[in-house]
Amino acid sequence: MHNFDFVKPSTIAEAVKALSDGDAQALSGGQTLLPSMKQRLAAPGTLVSLTGIAEMKGVCKGDGGLHIGAATPHAVVAREAAAHYPALAALAGGIGDPAVRSRGTIGGSIANNDPAACYPAAVLASGATVVTNKRQIAADDYFQGMFTTALEEGEIVIEVRFPIPQKAAYVKFNQPASRFALTGVFVAKFGDGVRVAVTGASNNGVFRWTEGEKALSSSFSADAVKGLSVDPAEMISDLHGTPEYRAHLVKVLTGRAVAQANG
């Protein structure tokens, strides 16, 4: 990879200042960015590490749910969220492999918004709030398509606040080589309805399957989605699966996630 200046601020204010240089890029766990830089798909002049900022780390119960610092690695979420939000902890514990989970972070994952990443499904299905150094963004407004988010230049994700559903589960169908989701579905049942978020399947990145949500809001059972069909028009087509295959997986995995959530 091309060389760059490396800085590691210890406060959010310092990080924001360092990122105001147009050629600077934020670095979290680096499990996507560093491989991209090795391939010279990215070549920032300065890398600003966010992993030394204490206030961006940790898992705690807060107003209205579970607050997770953006620089918290997956392994820590898997361990510390387990008692509060088991489905989210299980999702974190299934990303990549153990060494990747030691470094990769929730903030890095949702800032990158890879169309096959796991976390965007949890954030969207939970109706979480993305807290940045500037504002709070509802999950429904945050994800704006493949590798695209509401984040502006120099804006950093500080924390993600998850409302805790009554029941939830995430089921992913692994792409066996990369262990990214070929398709993954997160189902979350709240008092006022059910939210279903799908990753890995769509050319538009993570999305809500509203038809499934409607059916599950009237009857939270795997059978409720059996008669539905998912439109393959916007689904990803690659050597791992056709659009029709992914569309079918959306329905099948939703059913499995509901069955799992119901225990």
Partner 1 sequence: MAKLTMTVNGKTVSAEAEGRTLLSSFLREGLGMTGTHVGCDTSQCGACVVHVDGQAVKSCTVLAHDVAGADVRTIEGMANPDGSLGKIQQAFQDHHGLQCGFCTPGMVMSAAALLAENPKPTEAEVRHHLEGNICRCTGYHNIVKAVLAASGQDVSKIAAE
- Rule CB under 8 A: is residue 4 a binding residue for partner 1? yes
Q: Counting every residue, how long is the chain?
A: 263
Interface mask toward partner 1 for 150-189; x: CB under 8 A: -----------------------------x----------
Q: How far is CA 184 from its chain centroid? A: 11
Choose the binding region for partner 1 from 1-9, 56-64, 152-160, 162-170 (rule: CB under 8 A). Answer: 1-9
- Rule CB under 8 A: is residue 259 a binding residue for partner 1? no
At its nearest, how many Å lie between partner 1 and the CB of residue 118? 15
Burial 119-150 (b: 16+ CB within 10 A, else e): bbbbbbbbbbbbbbeeeebebeebbeeeeebe
Nearer to partner 1, 3 or 63 (CB): 3
Smallest CA-to-CA distance from 206 within 256, 158, 170 is with 170
Interface mask toward partner 1 for 100-139; x: CB under 8 A: x-xx------------------------------------
Q: Cα(6)–Cα(46) distance, rounded to whole angstroms?
A: 6
- Rule CB under 8 A: is residue 35 a binding residue for partner 1? yes
Nearer to partner 1, 29 or 165 (CB): 29
Instruction: Return all residues near 94 (Cβ < 8 A) that are at least 6 apart.
Output: 118, 170, 172
Residue 50 to residues 16, 204, 244, Cα–Cα distance (Å): 10, 28, 40
Nearer to partner 1, 6 or 147 (CB): 6
For residue 124, give the 3-state DSSP assignment: helix
Residues of this chain that bind partner 1 (CB under 8 A) = 1-6, 8, 27, 30-31, 34-35, 37-38, 47, 49, 51, 73, 75, 96-100, 102-103, 179
